[in-house]
Structure 1
Amino acid sequence: MPLVVLCGRPGSGKTRRAAELREALGGAGRAAHVVSEAAGGGRAALRAEVQRLLNRRDVVIADAGNEARSIRYELYCAARQAGTASCLLLCLGGRDGPDLPPFEAPDPRNRWDRPLLAVRAEEPLPLDALRAALFEGAAPVPHRSTRPQPLRSAGFLHGLDRLTQDVLTAVVAAQRGGALPGEAVPVPGVPEGLVLSRPVSLAELSRLRRQFISYTKMQEGCEENLPRLAAMFVQYLSRSIQ
């Protein structure tokens, strides 16, 4: 369920709005949690607690000044990683002064500052707009790097490890046997072999193997491609070794 990020200067009524939001957005089968920076621990603790509470059922309300763009971006990324919608509620008014943190006003051109809703102290919450932003809008798609990796069977992982290691063993043995750049190195499972453009150390080959395994484990539909992965690995090496 979604994340509401409150934003505003001291004295703008954020804590009162957080309580109103908890009352309005919570309900049967759906809790509304308020995470307050005033509870202690600062920015890191706020972000960690928000990440812990984000799930597919409840609403999380971040009650803090969130005056810096970087803070709002971190919270946006937490919601994106959880695959849930978020919105920013700007509480207008409040105090300003040289002894207070500088306030970086939200800009709706930034993806982490939208949807942006604003409310003054004397105004009621824009609940219809809030509900539309949180419950009707599409959640951002997590980046591939932040998605959980697909689960793979032990047999697939063992097969992937073995076939890539067999390729490395063949390449190292061929180089030790005097294979020259431009010659085709015989590789198990790949009839055309691998043509190296230059000598390659075991350390470099091992690094490329780790990269290929990590990339392959993140891809959907790899189980059925196991018989072809040796050829895919050889192609990967060929492109990487230039």
Structure 2
Amino acid sequence: MPFVVISGFPASGKTTRTKELLEFMKKEWPKNVVVISEHDFVKDQDKDYTYSSSQVEKDVRGALKGEVIRKISKDDIVILDGLNYIKGFRYELFCISKNCRTPQVTVHCIINPEQAWKWNESRPESQRYSRAVFDGLVMRYEEPDSRNRWDSPLVTVQADDLTPAEAVLQALRAAPAPKPNMSTQNPMLAPTDFLFELDRRTQDVVKAIVSAQESAMEGDQLPVTGTSERYTVPSTGRLTLAQLSRARRQFVSYLKTHPADPASIPTLFVQYLNNTDR
């Protein structure tokens, strides 16, 4: 389940680092090690065509992201080999990690642009970037920053360095799995009749309170149908039907986006009334 994101300029040695990481991890990691390569999604069309069209490039990123979602599993290491040069895309990958509760490490391949260009020129012609596309990607590149939670922990490797495979593995083992938050979790699915039950049960609570408070004094605790929770008559006096109806509408609006067990609705509504300034 640990996730490694490789990032760097074009022709910065990312694929070489990925292969060396793969060989090392296969020996050290007890489960599978999976590589997802950007090259596999660009191979049917040349690099210049892909990175000269924002829509085609966006489609490639979408395919990579989908593949990451499919390949992340409970125990496997997933290595994503690609430019991954857009900060927002790396954040999206981080959200996938958060949702899966898996540690993520970013490996930044650092190289001088001119040296990267020389490496690019030494490749077979079919694998090269044109100068215009190369310069455009370098200009648009957003470097990983360890201060960003989606880039941390960050392992950097210079062009002449050995691949820091051991450091990457240690970072994966030491990094805590990020805790998912509301933005990365699937919302709770409500029963198909939830809205009907929400409306009916809150209406019943309002009717019960209107009826019970006819003979009640401030501070009295009134029983309410459907719950053991008691409604406390406020010190400001009994609430009118209009006031209770307004509070009910506010409560219903909230619960529409935060579904709960229908059986708990009367209890939650009474608690809401007791704790709302009235």
Check if 1:235 corresponds to 2:271: yes
CA contact (8 A) 2:232 2:274 kept: no
Distance (Å, rounded) in 2 between the aligned partners of 1:112 and 1:86: 8
Decide whether aligned partners of structure 1 residues 196 and 55 sit closer, same or farther in structure 2, where only a CA change above 3 A counts: farther
TM-score between both structures, scaled by the size of structure 1? 0.73
TM-score between both structures, scaled by the size of structure 2? 0.65
How far residue 69 of structure 1 moved from its aligned partner, in angstroms, is 1.1
Distance (Å, rounded) in 1 between the aligned partners of 2:30 and 2:186: 26
User: For 2:245, what is the secondary structure of its paired residue?
Assistant: coil
Match of 1:167 in 2: 202
Decide whether aligned partners of structure 1 residues 146 and 77 sit closer, same or farther in structure 2, where only a CA change above 3 A counts: closer
Across the two proteins, how many residue pairs are aligned to each other?
223
CA deviations on 1:57-77 (whole Å, 9 max, x unpaired) are: 101111111111111111111
Instruction: Among all aligned residue pairs of Structure 1 and Structure 2, give the percentage whose two residues are the same amino acid.
Output: 32
Which sits farther off after the overlay, 53-62 or 29-38?
29-38
How far residue 147 of structure 1 moved from its aligned partner, in angstroms, is 4.0
Match of 1:30 in 2: 31
Instruction: Name structure 1 gaps, 5 residues minimum.
Output: 218-225
1:191 is aligned, of 226, 230, 236, to: 230
2:136 is aligned, of 99, 105, 123, to: 99
CA deviations on 1:38-85 (whole Å, 9 max, x unpaired) are: 222411111111111112210111111111111111111111111011
Decide whether aligned partners of structure 1 residues 105 and 191 sit closer, same or farther in structure 2, where only a CA change above 3 A counts: closer
Match of 2:108 in 1: 90
Report the residue type matching 2:171 in the other structure: A
Which sits farther off after the overlay, 24-33 or 10-19?
24-33
CA contact (8 A) 2:3 2:78 kept: yes
Match of 1:15 in 2: 15
Distance (Å, rounded) in 2 between the aligned partners of 1:173 and 1:210: 22
Report the residue type matching 2:153 in the other structure: P
Report the residue type matching 1:130 in the other structure: V
Distance (Å, rounded) in 2 between the aligned partners of 1:204 and 1:229: 14
State the structure with more CA Rg.
Answer: 2
CA contact (8 A) 2:34 2:78 kept: yes
RMSD value, Cα? 3.9
Decide whether aligned partners of structure 1 residues 237 and 63 sit closer, same or farther in structure 2, where only a CA change above 3 A counts: farther
Check if 1:47 corresponds to 2:92: no
Decide whether aligned partners of structure 1 residues 239 and 45 sit closer, same or farther in structure 2, where only a CA change above 3 A counts: farther
